[in-house]
Amino acid sequence: MMSKDEMPPSIQRRNPRPPGVLALVPVIALLLAGCAPAPVTAEGREVKSLYDTFMLAAIVVFAVVAGLITWSIVRYRARDDERPPARFATNVPLEIVWWSLPTLLVIGLFTISAQVLGAVDARTPASALDVEVQGSQWQWTFTYPNGVRVSGLPQQAPPDVVLPVGRPIHFELTSPDVIHSFYVPQFLIKRDTVPGIANHVDLTIDREGVYTGQCAEFCGLLHGDMRFSIRAVSAAEFDACLSRQPLPGS
Ligand SMILES: [Cu+2]
């Protein structure tokens, strides 16, 4: 057989040493975790914290498992000058460890997930601003407590909904036709509008800005046009907007 030094350079270049792919995995995972948009609601921050916790747990588990596998391969590789390593059928203490650690990890992740889910799904106090949100083919209609509506039309400028920061908002979600999904990436929460069911999501926006939303459930021909934007303003500016008729953007 031809040794590597005897190979033509072109062949040597086609067989490079394998890169440290395993070392890149945690880096890629961290970069992907950074893809989640920065949350702008109190509830979104809890969701982001949950994402980060899961990512951290996954990195630790990967490092431990890959590290033990690598150590076992190197430490117990076959050597000509050694007898084969001892073989065991069972090892009760070790089995208890590798059964209990993943079980405790799963229970812990389940517990904090249930806590975050409960907090995100909680109804806000009676002082919340009630906003009705109707998703229909293919537009969104937002109705304020005073009856003012902000509505969009397909293939036209999306509706611009003005909302206050620092005040709980109760979104009542409905649909007259098919399932749509109310989704603003910076909120980190998505909720369906389902015909015949009054769904809801309660949020407190804590940063002023304009946040683009989009229907996230394929609902037919012009699904892609079901966009909207939420303009979060100070409470004083919101009250001033609400007292004007019609609202900006309506
Ligand atoms: Cu849709």
Cα 98 to middle of ligand 1, angstroms? 45
Residue list, CB under 5 A from ion ligand 1? 180, 215, 219, 223, 226
235-244 confidence digits (pLDDT tens)? 999 988 887 7
pLDDT beyond 50 at 103? yes
pLDDT beyond 80 at 14? no
Phi, psi of 8 (to 5 degrees): -60, 150
Please tell me the predicted confidence (pLDDT) of residue 79.
Answer: 76
Q: Average pLDDT in the 194-208 region?
A: 93
Question: Of 138, 137, 159, 164, which is closest to residue 149 (Cα–Cα)?
Answer: 159
Cα 162 to middle of ligand 1, angstroms? 22
Q: Average pLDDT in the 71-77 region?
A: 87
Q: Where in the chain is the domain with CATH 1.10.287.90?
A: 20-121
Q: Which CATH number is 20-121 given?
A: 1.10.287.90
Cα 208 to middle of ligand 1, angstroms? 26
Cα 217 to middle of ligand 1, angstroms? 5
Q: 81 exposed, middle or buried (CB, 10 Å; 0-12, 13-18, 19+)?
A: exposed
Please tell me the predicted confidence (pLDDT) of residue 77.
Answer: 80
Cα 202 to middle of ligand 1, angstroms? 21
Q: Give percent above pLDDT 90 in the chain.
A: 59
Helix crossing, 21-33 with 42-75: angle to 10°? 170
104-160 confidence digits (pLDDT tens)? 999 999 999 999 999 888 887 778 899 999 999 989 999 999 888 998 877 788 899
Q: Where in the chain is the domain with CATH 2.60.40.420?
A: 129-243
212 close to 227: Cβ distance less than 8 angstroms: yes
Give the helix/strand (H/E) hosting 59.
Answer: helix 42-75
Cα 234 to middle of ligand 1, angstroms? 30
Q: Which fold has domain 129-243?
A: Immunoglobulin-like (2.60.40)
Taking all residues of the chain, what is their mean pLDDT, rounded to a whole number?
A: 85
pTM: 0.75
Please tell me the predicted confidence (pLDDT) of residue 20.
Answer: 62
Please tell me the predicted confidence (pLDDT) of residue 36.
Answer: 76
35-71 confidence digits (pLDDT tens)? 678 899 999 999 999 999 999 999 999 999 999 999 9
Cα 88 to middle of ligand 1, angstroms? 58
Cα 41 to middle of ligand 1, angstroms? 23
Residue 96 tokens, joined: 């208890």
Q: Give every CB contact of residue 110 below 8 A, 6+ residues apart in sequence.
A: none
For residue 187, how many other CB atoms are within 10 A of its CB?
22
pLDDT beyond 60 at 2? no
Please tell me the predicted confidence (pLDDT) of residue 16.
Answer: 47
Cα 216 to middle of ligand 1, angstroms? 6
**What is the β-pairing status of strands 168-174 and 129-136?**
parallel
Q: Average pLDDT in the 8-13 region?
A: 46
Cα 37 to middle of ligand 1, angstroms? 21
149-200 confidence digits (pLDDT tens)? 998 877 788 899 999 999 999 999 999 999 999 999 999 999 999 999 989 9
